[in-house]
Structure formats: structure tokens, C-alpha cells
Structure 1
Amino acid sequence: MTLRTERSPQRTSPAVHALRSLGRALGAAAGNAWRLARQLAALVLQRIRPVTDVVAPAGRLVFLVAVLAFAVSALFGWVEFTYLASTLLAALLVAVPFIVGRATYTVDLQLNPHRVVAGERALGQMTVTNSGERALLPARMELPVGSGIAEFVIPGLAPAAEHDELFAVPTHRRAVIVAGPAISVRGDQLGLLRRTVRWTEAVELFVHPVTTRIASSAAGLMRDLEGEITKKITSDDISFHALRAYEPGDALRNVHWRTSARTGQLMVRQFEETRRTQLTLVHSAENRYYASEDEFELAVSVTASLALRVIRDGTGLSVVSEKLALRTATPVAMLDDSSRIEPVSDLFPGLREFARAATRRLPPPSVVMIVAGSTIDLAEFRAAQTLFGKDATTLAFRIEPGAQSRLSTVSGLTVVTIGDLADLPKLLRRVHR
């Protein structure tokens, strides 16, 4: 006989309960105190930011050196460091009056024109008007233009007086150049304190790629009114193919009654599927496919030239790049977006993976054009070709500046090598033939 003993549950003493409650209360209090301290710190920073923002990097360095000089003087009793610290702080105080004051400007920033082709001239105009009732002292304005900054000295202006500044915008390369915002700058000559006021919003200048005109008859595209006939057989279309025996589920409207009466068996029409022309233009911006920046720019020009012709022909078009699907509603929208194409690096393992991801949700194409640089392996073109099926016509454009422009066929794939943009129209005429 086995005897079992059961232990009665231990009861927690009131003192332990009290300690636990006290610990929880202290933890909650510490958490609340931490959150309150963070809120107070954020509030203090928000209040002092207008003051600290006017201190330029040189001013922060001068203040730090002054504090260190005072510390050295206090520790070692070196009076020279006291003089140094006092001089540096005096320089900061002397700089304060240079940032005091309020300007009453109205600034108008215009670019003329807003869209240019790479290499064309573009000008900008900044008009500064004194909209206040008091005369204004001379001031300095800065205007970011692309990666640079233009500086202008605005003379003293009487009430309602205005001053114009003209500037040239560099447009030798395709890009989207942002001009502005225009800011006025107040500060001392040493650059210790700097106070800026923003007066305008940024304005975009679209520098379009250089394009070549492609004749409509040389586009190398299928042009149709009712659709392009394919080899796929369907039960409902407009291109008659043959008759076959009726099967359950066939639509009665497709029954050919005269043949059915003659043969004594229900016969229905079969059709060849017709498809509206849909062109997909795949532009790879992968950096490793291009030997130089000029080669990349030529590829963008080829893509834009092809897309312009297709849009003007009214054919369905999709243009995709690694980071951007170009708008194709109008030529201007497409050219604006082509100005934004930039090289990318290693976003996809290869051209096939990029083409699959970029065209997954697009309509099935009847024509596919793939544009890439001279360093791409032709096997990547062929791998991308297999994505679109046998009914799609695929053209691979290999960009190689200075090379002999030519047309070749590699394993059933038409490869168009472009050495000069001017050769594109005649090569497309050869493709069409």
C-alpha cells in the first residue's frame, strides 16, 4: 500500500504582495517620467531650433572652441585662453545684428521653356519685388539649379521696386533639372551666422532625349484595322477558318445551317483569332549592360524614338524600365518620363527576370522590342524572348555607339545593332521588309 502525501499550496505573504505592487508602481512611474522627459526635450528643441538653425557650421565650431578655451583657462589658469574665448564669443555677438531684420520680398521664378531637347538652350528668370512699404537693404539670394547653386546680389529696393536676374540652365545632358527654391540669405562676412528664408517652390525643367523621326511605313509594326490574324483557333471571331461537327455547349449562332441540312449533321463555324496590335517596349537601364554613359544615353534616345512613332500611330503601347513605367498617353508625357530614366545596378538577376516582373500585368503583346547596351550577352535576349510566346514578334536592339549599324538573326531572334541614332529609320525599314 502506497501512501501519497499532498502539499498544501504556499501562500504569498502580504509583505511580498506589497513589494511586488511597489515594484510595478515604480516601473510605471519610471516609464511615465521617461516619456515626460522625452516630450519636454522635444518641446525644448522645437523652441530653440529657430535660434540654433541660424548658427552656421563655422559658428558652431567657433562656439565649441570658445567653450574649450574657457575650460582650459579654468583648469590651468592660463589667461591667454580666456582672451581667446572672449574674442570668439565677441565675434558671435557682433554677427547677430547681420541676421536681424525682416524682408518683404515677392519672388517669381520662371523657366523658358519648361521642356527642351538635350543640347538646346534654356533660360531662367528670377524677379524680386519689394512688396512692403519700406525700402530694403541689399541682400543675397541663392538659387539651387540642378547640382549647383547660383548666387545673386539683390540691390536695395524701394517700395514696389523690382529687380530681374537672368540665368542659363545647363541642358547638355538628358535630365530633369530642378531649379529652386529661391532663398534669401542674411549673415555676417565671416559666415558664423546664417539666416535663410524660402520664397518660391521648386520648378522642374525637362531635358528630353535626342530623338530621330521614324516614318510610319518604316516602323516595322503590324498595322491593322480589325486585328492581326493569329494561328490560334477560336469559336467566336471574324476571320473564318473551317467547319467542324457540333459539340454540346457550342453557341447556336455559329451553326452553319446550310451545310448542316446538306450533311444531316449539325456543323459549326471555326475562326482564327484576331488580335489588336499591342507593342511592349522593354528598356533595360541595368548599368552592367552599358559600356559608357554615352551608350546609355543613345539607348534612351532609341527607346524614345520608337515610342514616339508608336504613340503617333495610335497603336497600343507599354514602355517599361526597371524603376519606371513610362506614361504613353501623349508624346509629351512619354518624353517627360524618359527624362527620368536613370541607370540602376543589380535590381534583377538578369534581363529575363526583369522583363517577367515588368510585363506581368500588361496586355499580351503582339510586338516586343527590347533595348539594352553592347555588353549584354545575346543569350539574355533569347531568354527574354521566350516569355512572350510564339505569336509575338520580338526585336532586340543592341546599342553600340560607333559600331556598324546592322541587322542580324540569332537563333530566330532579330537583333538590330545601333551604332548611330540616324541609322534607326533605315534599319526598321529593312525589318519591315
Structure 2
Amino acid sequence: MTRAKARAEASEATVSQGRIALATVGRSIMRTLGAIGRRVATAGRAVGRIASPVTSVISTIGWLVLGAAVATALIAVAFDWVEFAFVAATLVGAVLIAIPFVFGRMRYNVAVELKPSRVVAGERALGRLVVVNDGSAATVPSRMELPVGAGVAGFRIPALAGGADHEELFAVPTQRRAVIVAGPAISVRGDELGLLRRTVKWSEPVELFVHPRTARLKPSAAGLVKDLEGETTQTITDHDISFHALRAYVPGDPLRNVHWRSSARTGQLMVRQYEETRRSELVLAQSTVAAHYADDDEFELAVSIFASLGVQVVRDGTTSSAATEDLSLRTSTTTSFLDDTSRIAPRTQTTVLREFVREVLRRAQSASVVLLVVGSELPLAELRSIETILPSEAQLLAFRADRGADARISKVGSTLVATIGDLSELAAVVKRVRP
């Protein structure tokens, strides 16, 4: 019994050693294969870099044609079909014929201009492409492509003598608010079938800012305080300009605050106390979550409301900050502010409005007025949840975009909610809103 047990243990030990050996060999093989794979990949990238001047001129259609040529050639060899051999020869011949079209060198100086560089949505904007032959020799006709927004404009450039120029005008679509990028301008050499395509970049991109439509508001609108010295608060301080009262001197008080006339009259030192004054600071925020809006037009209405309020705040000279979930807008000038509003885009990812406002207020802790622009699909209960995170003595004013709805002002908790159905109603509603 003891011998059998010993043999069994010896057998198990042998099996275990065999498994360990196999695992070791397997890991060694995997490491070797991994090293070989990395070397092959490195070699492939090196070959790709060397061959890129050639392979980069082959278009997607060209690769499809070459792939079809290889496939038909294999079928012709495998099945001895002469017809497929003719097809393969024809496809290869088409690629070979296209090769001379990519040769040649041009010396262009290309300028892209957009006039004006800033427009309001719906206004007309024109672009100008100027191509100058910088060389002394004449150029052959070529093709120039200019990306404009989501589209691409194509132009035929005729043969140009040395120093000659050619001008093309084009219209820029400005129906919707956006930042439209025109360029870079690239020249394209290649065959008419588009099998081979060699491009050269000649200019840098140029931006056209399509601003949102805005409503003209009166100065100091939306309850904004326009002051020189600030607003007085209930906080008592020893250093300010708004006198509050006198109190007895305490060791450590600065002597400049001593009121000597009252001290002489009472027989003890008296010092001045002041009410703390603060500059009014306004926070302007817009929720850009797409789910909060009924459609794209309602979102654009909300951006127009946001832009109208922001422009008037900047004109009033009120200390302010403006933000969306994805963008902090500049409020130094109306132009820079409107440029940034052109970049506002709907947000597909849902965020909690309360957390968004909390983050905005973290950067503006002394805010006295918070203007919040939202859509009609946002539950009004979420506005009440924001009240709990507002700074003390701060007021929340909500502007709710709801296309086609009657303009009205309601109250949700301590928050005033102004519903705007059309941008033309904003000025009248703002006149009635006071925090």
C-alpha cells in the first residue's frame, strides 16, 4: 500500500513538472512571437514611411482598382480564364495611364479672404480665392479645392503666365450660427477618373464667425446694478467707504480709523465702522444638453437669448462671467463674446444642471445675480434645486426658451422664470424682470 502511494505521488510530481515545463516553453514561445511581431510592425512602419510618397497619391478608388486587378489576375491564373486576364490588364493599364498626370511642379501663391469675417446668421458673406503664379514659367491648367464648412468648393485654374493671377469668388452659406472654416486651399493633380491624386497645401484655414441673432436690450436690463462704488451689504468691516457707526477702541485697531472729535467729546477713543461694499457680479450660464430642448430651432432661440443678455451685460460694464457645460466665454468685449457664442453646440451627453451651476459658481463665488438659460424640456423642479447652492443674497433668474409659447413671467420657489417664445419678445420681458 505504501509502495503504491509512493508511485502515485511520483507520478503526480512528474506530471506537475511536465506542466511547468510546458508552461515555461509556452511563455518563451509567446515572448518570441511577440518580439517577432514587434519587429515586423516596426519594419512595416519603416517601409510605409519610405513608400508613402508613392502610396499617398493612390486614392481610395485607385486602391479598389488595384485590388480588383489582383483578384481578377488570380482568378485568371487559377481557372485559366482569358477574359479575367484581359480585365486585370485593363485595370492595371488604367492605373499606368494615370501616372503621368501626377507629375509636374507648380509655384503658386494662394490667398483666401472672407468678407466680412463676422456676420449675423442669415446675412450674406462672400469668399475670394486668389491664385498667383510665383514662377517665371507658365503653368498648366490645374484644379484647386477649398473646403468651406462641411462642403468642398472646386475651381478650375487656367494656365497662368509667370506673375499672372486668377481670382475666384464664392458664396459662404450663413443660414445657421456657426464658425465656418474655409481652407486650406489645395491644388490637385491627377487623372480624370480619380485613380491617382497628388495634393499640395497652399494656404492656412480662415474662420468666418456667424453670430446668433440678438435682441437689442436697454441699458441696465435684467435688474443689473450699474454702480461706481458697489452695493452695500449687512456685513460690518473696519475698512471700507460706507460709514456705519462708531465703537470703542480695541487695542490693535488702526489709528487712522479713530474719530478724534467723538473721542474728545466722550473721553475715550472711538473708531469708525463701515458697511462692506461689493461690486455687483453677474453669472450668465446656458444649459446645452440637447435633451433639454424640443428641437434644434429651440436650441438656437436659447443661444440667441443667451447672446442678447450677454451683449447687454458687457455693454453695461458689469463684472460678469459666462459659461456653458463645455465652454467658458470671454466677456471682455461684445465681439469676443459673440465669437464664442458661435461655437456653442448641443451636448449629447446628459449632465445634472445643479452640478453644472455649482461648477460655474465655484469660479464666481461673489455672484449677486445668476442668469440661467434653459429649454422647454427641462423640468422646472430642477430650477428649485439650484436655489440651495446659490451664494447668500444672490438671485437666480431663469430664461426658458419655448418656441411658439406666449411670453410670460412666473415664479418657481424664489426663482423668477421668464418664458420666451420668440426673440422679439425678449426686450419687453426683460423690462419687467427685476431680481
| 1:310 equivalent in alignment to 2:316 | no
CA distance in 2, matches of 1:233, 1:395: 28
CA separation of 1:235 and 1:379: change in aligned 2, threshold 3 A: farther
Structure 2 counterpart SS, 1:390: coil
**Aligned 8 A contact 2:221 2:312 in 1:** no
Read off the aligned partner of 1:420 and give its amino acid letter. D
CA distance in 2, matches of 1:351, 1:363: 18
Deviation at 1:270, TM superposition (A): 3.2
Partner of residue 19, structure 2: none
CA separation of 1:388 and 1:251: change in aligned 2, threshold 3 A: farther
Read off the aligned partner of 1:130 and give its amino acid letter. N
CA separation of 1:85 and 1:27: change in aligned 2, threshold 3 A: closer
Deviation at 1:87, TM superposition (A): 1.5
Read off the aligned partner of 1:413 and give its amino acid letter. T
Task: Return the match for 2:202 from 187, 199, 202.
Answer: 199
Partner of residue 90, structure 1: 93
Task: Return the match for 1:166 from 154, 166, 169.
Answer: 169
Deviation at 1:151, TM superposition (A): 1.1
Instruction: Give aligned pairs, total.
Output: 410
Percent identity reads: 55
| 1:388 equivalent in alignment to 2:367 | no
Task: Note the alpha carbon deviations across 1:307-332, whole angstroms, 9 max, x for none.
Answer: 11111121111001111100111111
Partner of residue 63, structure 2: 60
CA distance in 1, matches of 2:293, 2:195: 46
| 1:275 equivalent in alignment to 2:248 | no
Deviation at 1:163, TM superposition (A): 1.3
Task: Note the alpha carbon deviations across 1:45-73, whole angstroms, 9 max, x for none.
Answer: 11111111111111111111111122222
Read off the aligned partner of 1:116 and give its amino acid letter. V
| 1:132 equivalent in alignment to 2:140 | no
Partner of residue 376, structure 2: 374
CA separation of 1:26 and 1:403: change in aligned 2, threshold 3 A: closer
Structure 2 counterpart SS, 1:216: coil
Partner of residue 79, structure 1: 82
CA distance in 1, matches of 2:40, 2:68: 30
Task: Note the alpha carbon deviations across 1:103-144, whole angstroms, 9 max, x for none.
Answer: 222211111111001110000010112222222222111111
More deviation, 371-380/236-245: 236-245
Partner of residue 179, structure 1: 182
Read off the aligned partner of 2:139 and give its amino acid letter. L
**Aligned 8 A contact 1:218 1:426 in 2:** no
| 1:123 equivalent in alignment to 2:126 | yes
CA distance in 1, matches of 2:154, 2:297: 31
Structure 1 counterpart SS, 2:433: helix
Deviation at 1:38, TM superposition (A): 4.4
CA separation of 1:68 and 1:31: change in aligned 2, threshold 3 A: closer
| 1:326 equivalent in alignment to 2:329 | yes
CA distance in 1, matches of 2:412, 2:31: 74
Deviation at 1:408, TM superposition (A): 2.0
| 1:234 equivalent in alignment to 2:272 | no
| 1:69 equivalent in alignment to 2:81 | no
CA distance in 1, matches of 2:227, 2:219: 13
Structure 2 counterpart SS, 1:386: helix
Deviation at 1:30, TM superposition (A): 8.8
CA distance in 2, matches of 1:258, 1:131: 85
Deviation at 1:242, TM superposition (A): 3.3
CA distance in 1, matches of 2:51, 2:218: 65
**TM-score of the aligned structures, taking structure 1 as reference length:** 0.88
CA separation of 1:390 and 1:86: change in aligned 2, threshold 3 A: same
Read off the aligned partner of 1:100 and give its amino acid letter. F
CA separation of 1:69 and 1:28: change in aligned 2, threshold 3 A: closer
CA distance in 2, matches of 1:413, 1:32: 66
CA separation of 1:173 and 1:251: change in aligned 2, threshold 3 A: same
CA distance in 2, matches of 1:393, 1:40: 65
Read off the aligned partner of 2:325 and give its amino acid letter. E
Task: Note the alpha carbon deviations across 1:241-293, whole angstroms, 9 max, x for none.
Answer: 33445555544444445555665665544322211011110111111111111
| 1:341 equivalent in alignment to 2:344 | yes
Deviation at 1:29, TM superposition (A): 9.7
**TM-score of the aligned structures, taking structure 2 as reference length:** 0.87
CA distance in 2, matches of 1:122, 1:362: 38
Partner of residue 156, structure 1: 159
The root-mean-square deviation of aligned C-alpha atoms, in Å, is 2.6
**Aligned 8 A contact 2:220 2:316 in 1:** no
Gapped regions of structure 2 (runs ≥ 5)? 1-27
CA distance in 1, matches of 2:264, 2:250: 17
CA separation of 1:291 and 1:32: change in aligned 2, threshold 3 A: closer
